[in-house]
């Protein structure tokens, strides 16, 4: 997973690769944990789901790439806010039937 810079008042592009068609996925956007959480089977969680977070679900269409366009509010109260995002892909052959993407961390700016 990669993402463009979250400049205020723009649209951030978040790109995913290697997701099988027909899979449901959820991008979770929130606050990072102080230390990664080992979820087993090589999966690591990087977001604190005990704190407020946003979830952006989608169903993977044809192909193996997907891009989400996320509007970034033009609010100066966001400047300097440190957040992270990580996606969960459901219905895979991995242990537990899900895969996690890498995490992306960012600081909102102007």
Give the C-alpha distances (Å, rounded to integers) separating 70 from 7, 40, 67.
Answer: 11, 30, 10
Q: What domains are defined for the chain?
A: 2-107 (2.60.40)
Q: How far apart are CA 75 and CA 52, in angstroms?
A: 18
pTM of the model: 0.89
pLDDT, one tens digit per residue, over 35-68 is 999 888 788 999 998 999 999 999 999 989 999 9
Average pLDDT over residues 70-90: 95
């Amino acid at each position: 997973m990669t993402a463009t810079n979250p400049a205020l008042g723009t649209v951030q592009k978040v790109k995913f690769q290697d997701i099988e068609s027909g899979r449901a996925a959820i991008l979770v956007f929130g606050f990072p944990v102080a230390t990664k959480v080992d979820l087993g089977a090589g999966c690591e969680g990087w977001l604190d789901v005990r704190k407020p977070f946003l979830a952006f679900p989608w169903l993977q269409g044809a192909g193996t790439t997907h891009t989400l366009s996320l509007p970034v509010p033009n609010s100066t109260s966001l400047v300097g806010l440190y957040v992270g995002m990580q996606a969960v892909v459901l219905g895979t052959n991995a242990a537990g039937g899900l895969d996690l993407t890498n995490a992306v961390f960012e600081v909102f700016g102007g």
